[in-house]
């Protein structure tokens, strides 16, 4: 089971590039795809889900080009897009039966699978309730259930926790982790905490380009010795934000404790601290923006 992206690029109208020369090889596990809004994450997800084609380059699923033979991937693909919607007057069971029929699944086998999946996503007790009365988190779990109807080998979820409360977000992350097993799960998000606990690999996109692709530990090592905790007065916080890359701040009795990512000590009282994935991510994005501002491609 292998997904290979070979120089994929996507150009939109007006010669705007949403993705440029992206190369990655992905195996079983959870891949966290991180990047700010507009980084190219959704464009990549739509290409991988065979919703759109790359303008240049290609994507191979088990050595087959998905643009030439899309059904080779679609038969084993589960996809939860960012704008997933439901029919509010259908029950959870009716909605999943409708989608199973649309996917061409055997009716009897689909009913058994639906009962199983509603249990997996903890919606068994509300299977006959209309979807219009579901919370955002419950609808997202219905979305995961529909993506799993065909027991996919590749599961793609695009910004799945947007709009969820913290408890639902944790529950959703845990569910994705449990589902990984012997399949590839690609979780696209701009929220670092969504992937920090469950990703086996992390890919960072910025400006439509791949900035990094590595295990979390490797990303952390890349920023080791560059993260500082510095206590400053509240009045100096605004100036510090303009001068330094600050990944976090906490107000305490002795001042504002800021985390600064910098090669050199930002101030006499600053001390080195262990880096977090948030530090590594922000450092990567900051370097890309600095390069783009300087005209570096």
Per-residue pLDDT band for 295 (boundaries 50, 70, 90) equals low
Average pLDDT over residues 22-46: 93
Domain shared by 274 and 200, yes or no = no
Per-residue pLDDT band for 293 (boundaries 50, 70, 90) equals low
Residue position matching structure tokens 């290409």: 47
Q: Choose one of 162, 186, 214: the last residue of a domain.
A: 214
Domain shared by 210 and 248, yes or no = no
Q: How many domains, the chain?
A: 2
Over the stretch 227-285, which tens digit does the pLDDT of each residue have?
Answer: 999 999 999 999 999 999 999 999 999 999 999 999 999 999 999 999 999 999 998 98
Domain shared by 91 and 206, yes or no = yes
Domain that holds residue 34: 3-214
Domain shared by 57 and 149, yes or no = yes
Domain shared by 239 and 268, yes or no = yes
Domain shared by 87 and 186, yes or no = yes
pTM reported for the whole predicted model: 0.87
Over the stretch 101-139, which tens digit does the pLDDT of each residue have?
Answer: 988 899 999 999 999 999 988 899 999 999 999 988 889
Q: Choose one of 214, 249, 265: the last residue of a domain.
A: 214
Q: Domain holding 210: CATH number?
A: 3.40.50.300
Q: Choose one of 179, 214, 249: the last residue of a domain.
A: 214
Domain shared by 197 and 242, yes or no = no
Domain shared by 201 and 74, yes or no = yes
Domain shared by 27 and 120, yes or no = yes
């Amino acid at each position: 089971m292998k997904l290979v992206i070979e120089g994929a690029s996507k150009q939109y109208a007006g010669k705007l590039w949403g993705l440029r020369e992206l190369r990655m090889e992905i195996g079983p596990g959870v891949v966290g795809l991180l990047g700010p809004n507009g980084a190219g994450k959704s464009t990549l997800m739509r290409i991988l889900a065979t919703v759109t084609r790359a303008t240049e380059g290609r994507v191979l699923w088990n050595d087959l080009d998905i643009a030439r033979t899309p059904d080779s991937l679609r038969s084993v693909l589960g996809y939860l897009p960012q704008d997933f919607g439901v029919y509010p007057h259908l029950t959870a069971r009716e909605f999943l039966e409708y989608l199973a029929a649309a996917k061409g699944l055997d009716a009897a086998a689909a009913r058994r699978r639906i009962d199983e999946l509603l249990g997996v996503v903890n919606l068994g007790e509300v299977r006959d309730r209309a979807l219009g009365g579901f919370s955002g988190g419950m609808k997202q779990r219905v979305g995961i259930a529909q993506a799993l109807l065909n027991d996919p080998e590749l599961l793609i979820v695009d910004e799945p926790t947007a709009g969820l409360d913290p408890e639902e977000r944790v529950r959703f992350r845990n569910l994705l982790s449990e589902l990984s097993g012997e399949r590839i799960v690609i979780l696209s998000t701009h929220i670092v905490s969504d992937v920090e606990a469950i990703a086996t690999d992390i890919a960072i996109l910025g400006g439509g380009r791949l900035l990094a692709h590595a295990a979390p530990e490797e990303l952390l090592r890349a920023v080791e010795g560059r993260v500082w905790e510095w206590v400053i007065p509240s009045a100096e916080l605004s100036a510090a934000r303009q001068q330094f890359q600050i990944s976090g701040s906490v107000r305490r009795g002795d001042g504002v404790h800021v985390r600064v990512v910098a090669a050199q000590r930002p101030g006499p009282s600053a001390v080195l601290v262990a880096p977090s994935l948030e530090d590594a991510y922000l450092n990567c994005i900051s370097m890309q923006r600095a390069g783009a501002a300087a005209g570096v491609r």
